[in-house]
Structure 1
Amino acid sequence: MRVDLFDFDLPPENIALRPASPRDSARLLLVSGDASLRDHCVRDLPSLLRAGDVLVFNDTKVIPAQLEGMRGQAKVGATLHKRLGLRQWQAFLRNAKRVREGDRIDFGGGVTAIAGPRDDEGGVTLTFEGEEPVELLLERAGRMPLPPYIASKRPTDARDRSDYQTMFAREDGAVAAPTAALHFTPELMAALADAGVASETLTLHVGAGTFLPVKADDTDDHRMHAEWGRIDQATADRLNAARQKGCRLIAVGTTSLRLLESACDADGLVRPFADETRIFITPGYRFRAIDGLMTNFHLPRSTLFMLVSALMGRDRMQAAYAHAIATGYRFYSYGDSSLLLP
């Protein structure tokens, strides 16, 4: 399909630079299979879902994966995006032309790394020196890796350490937040439980590739980035049992959805999974694992807008986004949410 079919104009004032406070006060647009659009608040979720529904969350934890350093007299920026080993990460570099294989980059605070070969995704392998766990080094020298559309408008600050982390964050490894779950609070989870809505968690470490633009003119020519995920046997069993009872599985975030669909077999059963996924969902895809999706509003021409168009139909999502823009919904990572129920 032509990528320009997924384009739309977004006024800059619709881009959220801070999250709603409290988190569950964000707006929520309900998009239903009957083509209706209804304006709600995230706190309305218990009344919008059914008893027996299962919300599936991503428990990945964002690490401070953005680093600023020096290679000699040259400034170099690094955004880690994929772990390769105990001390090795793939990274996208700013001023990458100034870095050659074997160069040492000093990120300050005693944190140094040796640049390795370039990879086929445009990044460089960094091997961190010393014996301290890399996670400790990042806590000392790194910053939260805010998306480019926020970082270009304001500097990262101490508040982002908590704002850009979900209440479910447990497994270190993401360099971008599973942002649909940023809207949830303990109070909202308690209200959902009282309404008979269950929850499960899985792990998909979101990579910086999620922000890479689609440069191809046709979706067939786009190479999807890889992200590592895991669903254990017990979780898969509970999800399958819920569906066999007629309950709906509703992914909270496109990351949860992509992992569930990657782990699902042709018979609609979720299997245990521990691997990378490059699943690229565009209109025409037949969903097997999920019955709905809660997600924020995505970038034009992005793989994620293609995904929601595959779930609900491109024309319907273009209409939903036009409504959201016209009525002042806030877009992207810190923005408002939508509930898509085909």
Structure 2
Amino acid sequence: MSSFTNGEPVIEQNIKEFIYSKTRECVFVDIQTTSSIKIVPKIKHGSIVLGILWVKVLQHHGNYPVTKYPYKKKIDSKSVYEIVLSLEDVVIIVNLKTGLLEIKGRFVIEWFTRYFQSVLNVYDGILKETCKPEKIYTEIEVKHLDRDIETNKQYYANNWPDEALKDGVSVFNVSSNVLTSVDSEVPLELQVPDEKDLDVMTQEEVDEQTSTLAPGSVLDGVTLHRIWRSLLNAWCSSENCSISIATPRIDVPSLVEICHFFIKYREIVKICAICIPMQFDGTKLGVIKQDVLKEFSSSDQIFIEYKIFTQFLYPLNTFKVTFISSLNKDGIVDVLATSGDFTKSGFSKKSSNLVVYNSMREDEFKSKYLNPIMD
């Protein structure tokens, strides 16, 4: 079987397809030296989502779980977060801020061509466990390695775009002579609300409002919004609540608010599930998540990626109801459900929707709310 497809190595094509299917990001494989291979995101400012994906792939229980392999976190003077995995033959470095993955070592080409595909296959469930590299390389294998290195170097030298080889040209944007640093601050178009700006009700006011919603009531979007974020604030601040959110669509401002409450109470908040389709109304959820991350600091971005976005579930069924819920320690679930959306338009004064607030046992909540969406 040929190791090249459509003019590029099969492994490189497989990596591109793997990354795109998971994140909708585009990458390229950079082999500039015989001791280093980089998988580089094409997006100019890098991709935090891609960085988190690489960590999840490596730490998969069938690959290199943290219980069996040594991981280290590096923070340099520019606050660039890196996760470093040291294996017997190679060192793998993931930059969580840019999404860059680098594999370094004397036998990096051999390791990469032999074993990296199995790492991806394990994460995709094709294999149960990654192929473990042999400890000792024979003289013949070393010769083959040297030959493969030269072949790959020649391939990239012959196929790299001439325009990209000019001095001062950024490989991310050949029309620009200046590479924008990934550490540059991105202007915020939407500021994360301060606590004083969050119009939340007291617990007494929340109880009074929700007590009138058991039979259901039509509310304007502004009133719904105030109840919605007041409940989120109350539930997130309680150690006894596990929160679930489901909506057929969402926008940047609403997801920023959700993340704000989760970050505000990060020490105690418990997130059960966040159910949102991957795509709706021609909008990709991945794009919204990327825009949301831009509104937070680097440290908060890591928390959002690890603790919030990892709880996302992506329903395949079409659904039109929207709800937030809280499961308490007694197995009772409080649910605020509405026919509206958790979006700017859904929370507007001109929007009127049915709103219902009920309490039920956990098994009833799953059978009536979660299962119909996720099954």
Normalization by structure 2: what TM-score?
0.20
Question: Of Structure 1 and Structure 2, which has the larger fraction of its residues in strand?
Answer: 1
Higher relative contact order, structure no. (Cα contacts within 8 Å, ≥ 6 residues apart)? 1
Question: Of Structure 1 and Structure 2, which has the larger fraction of its residues in helix?
Answer: 2
Structure 1 or 2, whichever has the larger Rg, is 2
Normalization by structure 1: what TM-score?
0.21
